[in-house]
Amino acid sequence: MLAAKAFGGYFFYIVFMSQPIRIGVVTVSDRASRGEYQDLGGPAIRDCMTEILSCAWEPVPYVIPDEIPLIEATLKELCDQERCSPEAPARRAAT
């Protein structure tokens, strides 16, 4: 089932599903990807999404180096293999 709601010139589509939605949480950091320090951004995004989402969801976390080919490959993998939505929670997102 699909419902739409207008808010401030934007439409939000709500899909009622029996399974949690899968959302990729990608941290792009050379040092965090090498384990030089703990990724704090990804967990912060996960906590924020948990707070604002009213539906069941499953984070699919990735910590990758800042390399455009790897970023592209990771986003494709999230969509094609991990079955995550290709949408970003932003007014404008190049990715």
Q: Is the pLDDT of residue 5 over 60?
A: no
Residue 41 lies in a domain: yes
- pLDDT tens digits for range 58-81: 999 999 999 999 999 999 999 888
- pLDDT tens digits for range 19-49: 888 899 999 999 999 999 999 999 999 999 9
Residue 76 lies in a domain: yes
pLDDT of residue 4: 47
Residue 54 lies in a domain: yes
Q: Is the pTM of this model over 0.85?
A: no
Amino acid making up residue 7? F
Residue 20 lies in a domain: no
Residue 17 lies in a domain: no
Residue 1 lies in a domain: no
Longest Cα separation, the chain = 45
Q: Of the candidates 90, 82, 95, which has an alpha carbon nearest to the alpha carbon of residue 23?
A: 82
- Range of the structural domain that residue 38 is part of: 32-86
Q: Report long-range pairs for 75-78 (Cβ below 8 Å, ≥24 apart).
A: 75/24, 75/26, 78/24, 78/26
Residue 95 lies in a domain: no
pLDDT of residue 35: 96
Q: Count of domains in the chain?
A: 1
